[in-house]
Amino acid sequence: MLSALLVMAGIALALGAALGFASVRFKVKGDPLVDKIDAILPQTQCGQCGFPGCKPYAQAIAKGEAEINQCPPGGEEGIRKLADLLGKEFKPLSAEHGVEKPKQVAFIDEAVCIGCTLCTQACPVDAIVGAAKQMHTIVAPLCTGCELCVPPCPVDCIAIVPVPETVETWKWTYPVVRLKVVESA
């Protein structure tokens, strides 16, 4: 009887020690789900979802505090991917957060810019170059087209323009068989 108890207690201790060791040794830092959600989000950092950036939105989704359909730049495809990842039902993009737009980029009219630095402070990805009383300009390859620089500009010199398609970025279209209307006799 006693030996059986000792054996059971011994096994319990050994397994407990193993589990304790594993929990320290293989500890996962941060929430892997947040990173997975963040990888799907488009990183526009526009704040249209109501959170200050993509990462905070990802954290809110992981905690269940936000819906998956609040990201207009991610669009329908992004919502589908999030729904797949989280095992949720697909929902159309929520209208109060905005509408899906083609990829765009900010453009500063350099003749009008007064060098107030308000846009550089608003840019979430440091894509605007300029100093006080010096003309500012957008580093177009870094711009995410989030539109956050537009409201602070006191002289309305920032325009958001769609990114044109070039020979390098052009894609072949999905092959479809074109149907022709044949006049019946």
Q: Interface with other proteins includes 125 (CB under 8 A)?
A: yes
Using the rule CB under 8 A, give the single segment among 4-12, 22-30, 52-60, 130-138 that binds other proteins: 52-60
Interface mask (CB under 8 A) for other proteins, residues 137-156, using x and -?
Answer: ----xx-x------------
Q: Interface with other proteins includes 180 (CB under 8 A)?
A: no
Q: Interface with other proteins includes 48 (CB under 8 A)?
A: no
Give the start-end residues of each E strand in the chain. 104-108, 128-129, 137-138, 158-162
Judged by beta carbon, residue 70 or residue 120, the one nearer other proteins is 120
Concatenate the DSSP letters of all residues of 77-119 into one string.
HHHHHHHHHHT----PPPGGG------EEEEE-TTT-----HH
Q: Interface with other proteins includes 124 (CB under 8 A)?
A: yes
Among 37, 48, 53, 138, binds other proteins (CB under 8 A): 53
Measured CA angle at 31 (ends 92, 69), to 5 deg: 10
Q: Interface with other proteins includes 84 (CB under 8 A)?
A: no
Among 111, 170, 182, 185, binds other proteins (CB under 8 A): 170
Using the rule CB under 8 A, give the single segment among 18-26, 108-116, 147-155, 160-168 that binds other proteins: 160-168
Q: Interface with other proteins includes 81 (CB under 8 A)?
A: no
- Residue 59's H or E segment, with its range, is helix 54-63
Q: How many CA within 13 A on the CB side of residue 132?
A: 0
Q: Angle formed by the axes of helices 32-40 and 54-63, to 10°?
A: 130
Contact 104, 160 (CB under 8 A): yes
What residues form DSSP beta bridges with 159? 107
Q: Interface with other proteins includes 80 (CB under 8 A)?
A: no
- What is the C-alpha separation between 61 and 63, in angstroms, rounded? 5
Q: Interface with other proteins includes 78 (CB under 8 A)?
A: no
For the CB of residue 17, give the shortest distance to other proteins in the complex, in Å. 38
Q: Kindly list the residues in this chain that would bind other proteins in the complex (CB under 8 A).
A: 38, 41-45, 53-55, 124-127, 141-142, 144, 165-167, 169-175, 177
